Structure 1
Amino acid sequence: MCGIAGYLDYTGLPNDMGTLDRMIETMFRRGPDAGGHWADDFVRLGHRRLAIVDIEGGRQPMSLQRGDAPALVLTYSGELYNYRELRTELRDLGHRFDTESDTEVVLAAWAAWGAECVQRFNGMYAFAIWNASQRQLWLVRDRLGIKPLYYKMTPNGIIFGSEPKAILAHDAASPRVDSEGLVQLMLPLLKLPGRTPYAGIREVLPGHIISRTSERTREYAYWSPATTRTNRDTWGRVVGTVRELLADTVRRQMIADVPLCTLLSGGLDSTAITALARNALHDKPVRSFSVDFVADPSLARSTEDAPYVIEAVRHLKTEHANIVLHGSQLASPEARTACVEARDLPLGIGDLDISLYLLCKAIKQHSTVALSGESADEVFAGYRWFHHPDAVAADTFPWMSDSPAHGRLHQRIVKLFRKDLVARLGVGDYVAAEYEAAIAEVPRQGAEDAVERRMREVCHLALTRFLPTLLDRKDRLSMAVGLEVRVPFCDHRLVDYVYGLPWAMKYADSREKSVLRAAMGDIVPESILMRPKSPYPTTPDPAYSEAIRKQLCDRLLDSNGPLFDLFDEDELRIAATASEPGSLIGNVASEVILNFAHWLEIYQPTLPL
């Protein structure tokens, strides 16, 4: 896993690497093991490396020579899980390999099959490839968008990077937020395909390719869940296929030349991944990690995950470590700053970002790769809003509906902002328009009934508008400490297969994730199989809530400060003096506002106020 950055200018570039050096330096935490760059008259390609496979041989950017000149040059971030099979196929075609890295396989595959090679790839990846003879640059992103890739078009070329911060390090970019971007900042529960709050900076869409030549720019999709047809397999075959796909995926994703572990919360998803990892190791111990909180150093208070983690560890015999976080760690302004810088935006909700960041930081001391259960809820319909009648029937994104299914987080966040600003920007109309556009992407399939149609829409929304928020969060906060997190439930073969299942099968026993429970029944303890969906844990420490409210009070001492330009004055005062006991995520108001305070201070964005 790595960080990539670069730029292209068809008018020609001076013999100077200063701009590229600045850009790739912003990617240092993503790739602390090595750095490199490549240049010709028109393009600069940069790379920061987190060495996972072929530690000595996989240095980048990597080029493929034709005679004395480079024909193709690649800067690549990600892991190709089927690279060994592809290497064998390419060798049969006559290609000679000099390294054991998956990077060289990507380069050889492009040389052999062109852009169509991505149809053969199984993995998570984002890369740029330069065809020197044709003077053409390609940007490619994996099907689910597990790995980030951003870009900014210029009059004569393009700037790109794994994160916006790399692009912002270029003189042609600035942290300017337009009106649409400001609306997006008010909607942290919704990641809109291709767009960012920064004006002019876009994201390569999941499953898309962008090509740039001196004459034109072209963008096209090579994968989308909307194209998946209805799956008519029998129940027994469905359960068996899901098990086979997951077992194969986990086996593939355990390939690494560095220490590997799993994230184990005691829920169905993470326990299933850990059990399959143990099977792949032929019952050798798996290293696993969980997170817990204490309210007082002398009196531990466990989350509701704790007893299930203990049971999973006992059942699977893992080499387990429980990372215990104290409220003072979570309340550290330095930790919040690190999270805001990792995401380039003030998007964190509650202490979820900070606890994940600190968990990854602790894991990194022992492992470089972790397998996570992320995305099982989106793929197998695990969230409450898949099943709550009010959420499902709402004429909007179900998790943003005015229902208890997601703790009314959307409503709680939007009300924080100045009412005149929300009205002027038309936030409600914007959400409605985006919802209609998302629904329009789902094609009709024959004579499906109303329930089947609606649930297919909800599943599509989950994969394309909700899952990206979680993948972005997990990537940024883990890579900020040089930890690679792999997500087996995002294997596109599994996503395609399950997306096509009829709703009656996904909800076969009137419980969420019916198929997954059945597929894992013989390797996951019964109590965990039957455990209701539990949200990501947050700290119960009242001292933490008090500390962040104090931090917010200090910020509000300047009544002319920038927070008053964005947020409702009454809501600012309430957030600084009151908590939200009993809500899905407490302290939402103070957390969101503090994130904005740190972001405004660090990035000094231009806002349309």
Structure 2
Amino acid sequence: MCGIAGFCDFTQNLNNEYTKNKNIVIEMGKTLEHRGPNDSGHYISEHVAFAHTRLAVIDLLGGVQPMKRIEKGYEYAVVYNGELYNTDEIREDLRRKGYTFNTTSDTEVLLVAYIEYGTDCPKYFNGIFSFAIWDSFHRLCFLCRDRFGVKPLFFSVVDQKVVFGSEIKALFEHPSIHPVINQYGLCEIFGLGPARSPGCGVYEGVNEVMPGHAAIIDYSGMKLYSYWSLTAEEHRDNYEQTVEKTRELLLDSIRRQLVSDVPICTLLSGGLDSSVVSAVAANVLKEEGKKLDTYSFDYNENTKFFKASSFQPTEDRPFVDIMVDAIGSNHIYLECDHHSLYETLYEAVIAKDLPGMADVDSSMLYFCRQIKKNHTVCLSGECADEIFGGYPWFRDEEAYNTNAFPWSKNLDYRKSILSPHLRKVLPLDDYVQSEYQKTIRAVPKLDGESKLPARQREISYLNTSWFMTTLLDRKDRMTMASGLEVRVPYADHRLIQYLYNVPWEYKYHNNEVKALLKDAVKGILPDEVLNRKKSPYPKTYDPKYENLLKEELRKIMSDDSAPIHMLIDHEAIHKLMEGNSDYGRPWFGQLMATPQLYAYLIQTNFWLKHYNVTLKI
């Protein structure tokens, strides 16, 4: 994985002010050095300036970027962030067409694929990617992002220039772009956050190339379009056939994503999803005479303070132990103390350029730094719950009957902590409902579907296009802040497309949560792990952490210069902190309860101050 940045300007020849443009794009690239600590480079042509920072994973010596290629007298150049998992197949196809290759890198394959297939090239890719290509033959710049947005790609159009980058911070190094938040940005922060509307960068004028989308930039401007999307199709396979097809797609995805020229590890929580990935990876490595390294996360003294709930019924450690014995991995147990968890909240904001999932982010960042000491590439079980229906709201009757995001059904709690002025001027309810309805209108459905299957499709689509994207966004930023590449086999587009059309009664076969996945992986896992009740990413239950948050939030509220001062209702927050926190009633997802609200406000205050955000209310 890597970091990319740059800008396109068809109103002038960038070579005429080469030094100036070089300095700008180099500074943009420097903001992304954490994503690619191994190498960096830049490229300037007539109308584009590219910067790249490299995390070397495939062809450590030959995959240097920006990569250029001359074909029939025309120059093509690429900056690319990602991995192609079908590199060998594409390379062989291109060789049959007469192309030769100088490296074993997927970067060269991607560039040659563009030269051969043009803007249709992403349709041939199985992988995670965002990239920019300069095409001197057609005199255009091509931007592209993978089908589910595993890899980020932000952009802004200003002064007839298109400025882009893997992270928003790179855009702010361009002299024409500044951190400004208007009322719609505040609706994102307080109404939808830590999620973001598809394509929205929150800051005024900052956008994101949506998953499955590409852009052509030339003399006529910028044209964004969708090259891939989920489609609704009649599911004709019976249950046994569906189980077999699911197993085939999932195992193929995991095996493909084990390709690397550096050692691979997995995240192993002891849950179903990560255990499947780890078990398959361990078997593949065993065939090669190698042993898999695995990691699990927890918090100091969490066993002492753990409180079971419907969202988090069991601790992870006993199930991790079962899996380690079963697959014979080299396992490392990582723990985080409450002080480190708190301190990393601020660094998590810088990693994301926005307030995020509070300690869910900061813990991931902390743990990834520990993993990076030994590994560069890691596989994760992320995304399985979205596509197999693992979350509680897939079975929540209220979610089916409420026109709202299932993981954040009620805005009253969010609005209660806002200042009276902000509640008056922000169109919070209208904004959130508008974004919800926009997604519902886009849901692919079959003609004549009855009400219940149609709503089940809506719940599924909301999860893949919103909740999954939020978790992938978090995963990318927290891992890449440490120079750690994390791959997500469950996000394979072939698997997600197939499962989108599988009826709910198959996924919930015999009223068993994630029954389809369990049946598909039978024989791979010990029964205790296979039948374990879902338990999400761990969080701390240590009261010392919550007390630390309250102490910091009180300091912020007593500081008249604190930028969040004018946005919050001090009396409401003081009253909240005086009561008992309910860990079992999250306001976002499964993990963000009252302590995470305190942390989110602390992050928001730090974000406004650190980025010197201009508020336009």
TM bin, normalised by shorter chain, reads over 0.9
Which of 384, 387, 407 is equivalent to 1:379? 387
Deviation at 1:545, TM superposition (A): 1.5
Partner-residue secondary structure (3-state), 2:42? strand
Aligned twin of 1:545: 546
CA distance in 1, matches of 2:134, 2:380: 33
Give the whole-Å Cα distance in 2 for the aligned partners of 1:417 and 1:238.
48
SS of corresponding position for 1:137: strand
Query: Which deviates further from its counterpart, 339-348 or 300-309?
Result: 300-309
Alpha-carbon distance, 1:578 to partner: 5.2
Q: CA offsets per residue over residues 229-279 of structure 1, 9 Å max, x none?
A: 132211111111111111111111001111211011111100011111122
Instruction: For 2:450, give the aligned amino acid.
Output: D
| Matched-pair contact (CA < 8 Å) for 1:72–1:129 | yes
Deviation at 1:329, TM superposition (A): 1.3
> What's the CA shift for 1:581?
4.1
Partner residue, 1:602: 610
Q: 1:296 to 1:428 in 2, by over 3 A?
A: closer
2:536 maps to 1:572? no
User: More deviation in 272-281 or 31-40?
Assistant: 272-281
- Give the partner amino acid of 1:553: R
Superposed displacement of residue 525, structure 1: 1.6
What SS does structure 2 have at the residue aligned with 1:398? coil
Output the CA distance in 2 between the equivalents of 1:9 and 1:126: 20
Question: Deviations for 1:399-420, whole angstroms, at most 9, x for unmatched residues?
Answer: 1224xxxxxxx54334322243
- 1:89-108 to 2 correspondences below 5 Å: 89-108=93-112
User: Secondary structure in 2 aligned to 1:285?
Assistant: coil
Report the Cα distance in structure 2 between the residues aligned to 1:400 and 1:296, rounded to whole angstroms. Answer: 27
Inter-CA distance 551–493: structure 2 relative to 1 (3 Å threshold): same
For 2:567, the aligned partner's letter is L
Which amino acid letter does the alignment assign opposite residue 348 of structure 1? M
Q: Is the 8 A contact 1:128 1:140 kept in 2?
A: yes
How far 1:125 sits from its partner (Å)? 0.1
Q: For 1:509 and 1:523, how far apart are their aligned partners in 2?
A: 21
**Residue in structure 1 matched with residue 589 of structure 2 by the alignment:** none
Structure 2: stretches of 5+ with no match in the other structure: 308-313, 587-592
Distance 2:264 2:576 in 1: 41
Matches within 5 A, 1:206-217: 206-217=211-222
Counterparts of 1:208 and 1:381, CA distance in 2: 26
Within 5 Å, give how 1:80-479 maps onto structure 2: 80-186=84-190, 187-225=192-230, 227-282=231-286, 284-295=290-301, 304-332=315-343, 335-349=344-358, 351-402=359-410, 411-479=412-480
Cα deviation code 1:269-306 (max 9, x no counterpart): 00011111122224543111000111399x89797111
Aligned to 1:9: 9
2:570 maps to a residue whose letter is E
* Letter in structure 2 aligned against 1:285: K
Instruction: Supply the AA of the counterpart residue of 1:312.
Output: M
Hey, what's the Cα distance between the residues in 1 that align with 2:241 and 2:420? 53
Query: Relative to structure 2, which stretch is displaced further, 158-167 or 534-543?
Result: 534-543
Q: CA offset at residue 189 of structure 1?
A: 4.6
Q: Post-superposition shift, 1:560?
A: 4.7
Q: 1:336-361, CA deviations, whole angstroms, 9 ceiling, x for partnerless residues?
A: 22100000001223x21111111111
Match of 2:537 in 1: 536
Q: Please state whether the residue corresponding to 1:400 is helix, strand or coil.
A: coil
User: Secondary structure, in 3 states, of the residue corresponding to 1:509?
Assistant: helix
Give the Å deviation of 1:53. Answer: 0.3
* CA gap 1:514/1:176 in 2 versus in 1, 3 angstroms: same
Separation in structure 2 between the aligned mates of residue 575 and residue 150 of structure 1, nearest angstrom: 36
Stretch moving more, 517-526 or 575-584 = 575-584
1:26-48 Cα shifts (integer Å, max 9, x gaps): 00000000000001232101100
- Secondary structure, aligned partner of 2:446: coil
Fraction of identical pairs, as percent: 38
The amino acid that maps onto 1:30 is R
2:510 is the alignment partner of 1:493: no
1:513 shift after superposition: 1.3
Aligned-partner residue type, residue 305 of structure 1: D
CA distance in 2: counterparts of 1:422 and 1:578, whole angstroms: 23
Kindly provide the amino acid, as one letter, of the partner of residue 160 in structure 1.
F
2-structure distance, mates of 1:460, 1:373: 19
Give yes or no for contact 2:183–2:616 (8 Å, CA) kept in 1. yes
- How far apart, in 1, do the equivalents of 2:78 and 2:27 lie? 19
Shift of 1:212: 0.7
Mapped partners of 1:37, 1:538: distance in 2: 41
Alpha carbons 2:129, 2:151 under 8 Å: kept: yes
Amino acid in the other structure paired with 1:59? V
**One-letter code aligned to 1:11:** T
Q: State the Cα distance separating 1:544 from its structure 2 match.
A: 1.5
Cα offsets for 1:191-214 (capped at 9, x unmatched): 211112111110001001100111
Aligned mates of 1:223, 1:282 — CA distance in 2: 36
RMSD: 1.8
Q: Aligned partners of 2:575, 2:335: CA distance in 1, in Å?
A: 30
Question: 1:406: which partner in 2?
Answer: none
Does the aligned pair in 2 maintain the 1:294–1:301 contact within 8 Å? Answer: no
Q: Is the 8 A contact 1:549 1:577 kept in 2?
A: no
1:577 Cα deviation from its structure 2 partner: 4.9
Whichever residue aligns with residue 354 of structure 2, its letter is: L
User: Could you list the per-position Cα deviations for residues 289-343 of structure 1 after superposition, in whole angstroms to 9, with x for gaps in the alignment?
Assistant: 000111399x8979711111111111111111010111121122xx122100000
Question: Given the alignment, which residue of 14, 25, 32 partners 1:20?
Answer: 25
In 1, distance between residues paired with 2:272 and 2:80?
33
How big is the shift at 1:135? 2.1
Please give the secondary structure, in 2, of the residue aligned with 1:7. strand
- Which amino acid in structure 1 is aligned with residue 598 of structure 2? S
1:331 is paired with a residue whose SS is helix
Q: Which moved more, 1:540-549 or 1:253-262?
A: 540-549
Q: In structure 2, do the counterparts of structure 1 residues 423 and 535 end up closer, same or farther at CA, with 3 Å as the change threshold?
A: farther
**1:575/1:604 Cα in 2 relative to 1: closer, same or farther (>3 Å)?**
farther
Secondary structure, aligned partner of 1:430: helix
Give the TM-score taking structure 1 as reference length: 0.95
What secondary structure sits across from 1:28 in the alignment? coil
Per the normalisation by structure 2, the TM-score is 0.93
Contact 2:187 2:432 in 1 (8 A): no
In the TM superposition, what is the alpha-carbon distance from 1:188 to its structure 2 partner?
1.3
Unaligned runs of 5+ in 1: 403-409
Counterpart residue identity of residue 595, structure 2 = N
